Amino acid sequence: MRQLFLIGCLCMASSAQAFVCRFQTECYEAEACGAADYLIDVQLQNQSVSTADGDWVIVAKKSEAALITLFAAAKGVEYLVSITPEAARLSGHLNAGPRAIQYLGTCEGAF
């Protein structure tokens, strides 16, 4: 019985294994921010993120009670994703240039 209670506590404290993030604001370099409709499909168990532009590999994940931080890589781009129950921020750093793009949105079901 005690084992089941401990397993239940661990499950409640962990984040979801799969969720979708939608980003409504995009900021590219020094340009003014604008509207966006960018989706990412996060699969923690597979250590991957799927997007319309291709898949990323999650190279590291850090979790706290109300924060998930992901570090991911794709061909020519490195990503940092910070997720809280209220908001999500995505930062992509393109190796060519270098250049950066940032997004602000939310992730449904991450917690």
In a 13 Å sphere around the CA of 66, the CA atoms on its Cβ side amount to 4
- Which stretches of the chain are DSSP H helices? 2-13
Q: Using an 8 Å Cβ cutoff, are 15 and 44 in contact? A: yes
- The per-residue pLDDT for 15 is 66
Q: Where are the domains of the chain?
A: 16-108
CATH code of domain 16-108: 2.40.128
State the 10-residue block means of pLDDT for the chain, 111 residues long: 39 72 97 98 97 96 96 96 98 94 97 93
Per-residue model confidence (pLDDT) at position 97: 87
